[in-house]
Structure 1
C-alpha cells in the first residue's frame, strides 16, 4: 500500500517535492505531546 501511494505521488505535480519522515512512537507523543519535546527527552 505504501509503495502504491509513493508511486502515485511520483507521477503527480508533487514529484519534485521532498518527503520528510519523523520517527516516533505513540508513547512519545502520548506522554510529551510535541515531537520536539520527545526528541529532547529521548536524547538526554
Structure 2
C-alpha cells in the first residue's frame, strides 16, 4: 500500500515538473535535475 502511494506521489511530482517546464517557469536543466532521480525510483519499482 505504501509503495503504491509513494509511486503515485512521485508521478504527481513529475507531472507538476512537466507543467512548470511547459509554462517556462523552470529550465530544461532544472527539470532534468528535479526529475532524474524520481524516474530512477519509478523504474526500480
Same-fold call, TM cutoff 0.5: no
Bigger proportion of residues as helix: 2
The structure with more radius of gyration = 1
**What TM-score results when the alignment is normalised by the length of structure 1?**
0.31
Between 1 and 2, higher relative CO (CA 8 Å, sep ≥ 6) is seen in 2
**What TM-score results when the alignment is normalised by the length of structure 2?**
0.30
